[in-house]
């Protein structure tokens, strides 16, 4: 087989054109000598001056001379009000002493905003202030029941028996590990109560009549409500004196608030003229995010003094406490969550005189 040196001139050039694309790129002997021997010409003085001045010329071209126009006096934008001062105005309600006994619904149709957590820990904090507190678990999930160390399988009666079978509420009340704190547990049977209540006579007032049997036995009765607007929700609103609304410091938590307030007004006009919104508590507050601050500003700007000063932070200890069947005030009494709920209990009670013994 012939080597590449033995190829015809045309064939060798063709191969070079195939790989190089523009034919032979090997310089001729004459070209190589001229390129090696020809010295590079130094830049002329004019070229040097022009090169040195080029950046200045470019910068000069970028400069635009604007006509002198007097914009007139401008007022500086007012700085946003400090969040601390907004909180200081929160909870500025009537100085009148809270009249006990008081039935309070912890309500918000939005799920996952801290209703159960607030019912359990606020109840425990009120019990620490030596008030006698009853927590009614009206949520079929029964999280408030297990959050206070009560097992669904070990209870003889539940709130289902109170509403559907007219059982005395005292027979269904269970003590907890916290002194002065009691609970009426919920079981899965409560899930069918919405349907069973439909044909019942005076179905909206069943819980109110049950609570009338123990009037004066407890200073505070807190009702943990399901995230819905069914007959169970109407029952607890009709039986309550006031409503506390937990709001998670996120955007979605604000969407259902208007509908909840409309339902409160509807129940007030038809079933319970004394029903009022006692206050709004901000929960799951994460100070690391701008969104939490924006939600707090919007809620406080709209509802004013109805929003409590206390803001419940998002902490791991609050989330861990239910797995041990304890309120956070017992599980970790020095945590930020426990301190927040103690402050909230002071705002809610406002030093009311204890009635129950």
The DSSP annotation for 36-86 comes to HHSPPPPPPHHHHHHHHHHHHHHHHHH------------PPPPPPPPHHHH
Which CA distances in Å does 104 have to 13, 139, 242, 277, 332?
A: 98, 15, 5, 9, 26
Name the nearest CA neighbour of 340 among 191, 159, 118.
118
The pLDDT of residue 75 is above 90: no
Region of residue 204 (left: phi > 0; alpha: psi -120 to 50; beta: else):
alpha
Tell me the two tokens of residue 174.
């269970």
- Quickly state the pLDDT bin for 1 (edges 50, 70, 90): very low
Residues 24, 14 contacting (CB under 8 angstroms): no
Task: State residue 263's pLDDT score.
Answer: 87
Task: State residue 161's pLDDT score.
Answer: 94
The pLDDT of residue 28 is above 50: no
Task: State residue 109's pLDDT score.
Answer: 83
Can you tell me the mean pLDDT for 1-5? 47
What angle, 0 to 180 degrees and rounded to 10, lies between the N-to-C axes of helices 257-270 and 231-239?
Answer: 60
How far apart (Å, rounded) are the C-alpha atoms in residues 42 and 49? 13
Residue with more model confidence, 111 or 106: 106
Instruction: Tell me the β-bridge partners of 115.
Output: none
In the chain, what is the greatest distance between 2 CA atoms, to the nearest angstrom?
119
Task: State residue 85's pLDDT score.
Answer: 62
- Quickly state the pLDDT bin for 93 (edges 50, 70, 90): low
Q: What is the mean pLDDT of the chain?
A: 80
The DSSP output letter for 138 is -
Q: What is the pLDDT of residues 134-191, one digit of tens each?
A: 999 999 899 999 999 998 888 889 999 999 999 999 999 999 999 999 999 999 988 8
How far apart (Å, rounded) are the C-alpha atoms in residues 223 and 239? 10
Q: What is the pLDDT of residues 39-51, one digit of tens each?
A: 555 555 444 444 4
- Quickly state the pLDDT bin for 250 (edges 50, 70, 90): confident
The pLDDT of residue 127 is above 90: yes
- Percent of the chain whose pLDDT exceeds 70: 73
**Stated pTM of the model:** 0.74
The pLDDT of residue 65 is above 70: no
Task: State residue 251's pLDDT score.
Answer: 79
Can you tell me the mean pLDDT for 52-57? 47
């Amino acid at each position: 087989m012939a080597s590449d040196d033995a190829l015809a001139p045309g064939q060798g050039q063709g191969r070079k054109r195939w790989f190089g694309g523009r034919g032979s790129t090997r310089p001729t002997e004459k070209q190589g000598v001229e390129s090696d021997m020809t010295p590079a010409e130094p830049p002329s003085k004019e070229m040097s001056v022009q090169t040195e001045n080029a950046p200045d010329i470019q910068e000069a071209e970028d400069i635009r001379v604007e006509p002198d126009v007097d914009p007139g006096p401008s007022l500086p934008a007012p700085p946003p009000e400090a969040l601390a001062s907004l909180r200081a105005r929160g909870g500025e309600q009537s100085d009148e002493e809270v009249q006990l006994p008081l039935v309070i619904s912890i309500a918000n149709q939005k799920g996952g905003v801290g209703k159960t957590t607030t019912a359990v820990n606020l109840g425990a904090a009120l019990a620490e202030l030596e008030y006698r507190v009853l927590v009614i678990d009206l949520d079929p999930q029964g999280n408030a029941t297990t959050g206070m160390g009560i097992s669904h399988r070990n209870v003889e009666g539940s709130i289902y028996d109170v509403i559907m079978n007219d059982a005395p509420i005292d027979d269904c009340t269970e003590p907890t590990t916290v002194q002065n704190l009691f609970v009426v547990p919920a079981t899965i049977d409560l899930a069918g109560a919405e349907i069973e209540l439909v044909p019942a006579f005076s179905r909206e007032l069943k819980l109110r009549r049950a609570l009338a049997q123990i009037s004066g036995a407890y200073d505070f009765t807190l009702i943990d409500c399901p995230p819905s607007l069914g007959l169970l929700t109407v029952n607890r609103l009709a039986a309550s004196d006031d409503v506390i609304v937990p709001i998670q410091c996120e955007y979605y938590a604000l969407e259902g608030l208007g509908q909840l307030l409309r339902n409160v007004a509807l129940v007030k006009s038809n079933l319970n003229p004394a029903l009022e919104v006692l206050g709004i508590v901000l929960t799951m507050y994460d100070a690391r995010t701008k969104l939490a601050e924006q939600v707090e500003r919007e809620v406080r700007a709209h509802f004013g003094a109805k929003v409590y000063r206390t803001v419940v932070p998002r902490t791991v200890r609050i989330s861990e406490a239910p797995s041990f069947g304890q309120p956070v005030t017992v599980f970790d009494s020095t945590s930020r969550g426990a301190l927040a709920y103690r402050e909230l209990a002071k705002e809610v009670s406002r030093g009311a005189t204890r009635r129950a013994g």
